[in-house]
Structure 1
Amino acid sequence: MPKSVTSPLQKKLAAMLVEHRKAAGLRQVDLAEKMGVYQSWVTHMESGQRRIDVVELIELGKILGFDPVDVVRKLSRK
């Protein structure tokens, strides 16, 4: 399986992360500050231009208030 950042699952994950950020009431710049990254990192993540590793997903879950396991389960459903 190619590691494409434009895969349907990657796009779905990016959309889910945007929803969680907005539900948490954070702007991209706020999330970037909490993650200790540049806003461009968040922009690339949310646009699907950057792949998210499992450690980042766990950290995002802590900051945004979601369970990473639930996100993975939703992504794995057809």
Structure 2
Amino acid sequence: MVVGGLTNIPIWDILKEKISRLSGQGQPMEKTIYSQQYQRLCDLLIEARKKAGLTQVEVAERLGKPQSFVAKYEGGERRLDVVEFIAVAKALELDAKVLIDRLMRD
């Protein structure tokens, strides 16, 4: 394959190099699931669930998911996407914006 005058270089290697440069200092960005901020989000969700007097099973039922789904995002094993985060906030009867504001303050 020829890309930009280079031959025999897989396109994936070129893309990985460009992504590394975009992330700063040529190092790949840390996965957000392992960041302190993501751990703080997990802690906020656990705190909110307990404050609401809900078990993981009850939250899972509200979401139509198995209890393991809640256990995995609370334990930091699974990352929530934005749509899932909003659904979890609703299941906890919270405004997602309030949770984000708390996360940004801390």
Match of 2:92 among 47, 64, 71: 64
Provide the C-alpha distance between the structure 1 equivalents of 2:53 and 2:103, rounded to a whole number of angstroms. 23
- Alpha-carbon shift at residue 4 of structure 1 (Å): 3.6
Greater RCO, 1 or 2 (C-alpha within 8 Å, sep 6+): 1
Count residues in correspondence.
78
Among the aligned pairs, what percent are the same residue? 42
Q: Within 2, Cα distance between the matches of 1:54 and 1:39?
A: 20
Amino acid at match of 2:88: L
Q: State the Cα RMSD in Å.
A: 1.4
Match of 1:49 among 65, 77, 93: 77
Find the partner of 1:19 among 37, 47, 51: 47
- Could you tell me which runs of 5 or more consecutive residues in structure 1 were left unpaired when the two chains were aligned: none
Q: Runs ≥4 in structure 1, deviation > 6 angstroms?
A: none
| TM-score, length of structure 2 as denominator length | 0.66
Question: Once the 2 structures are TM-superposed, how far is the Cα of residue 6 of structure 1 from its aligned partner?
Answer: 1.7
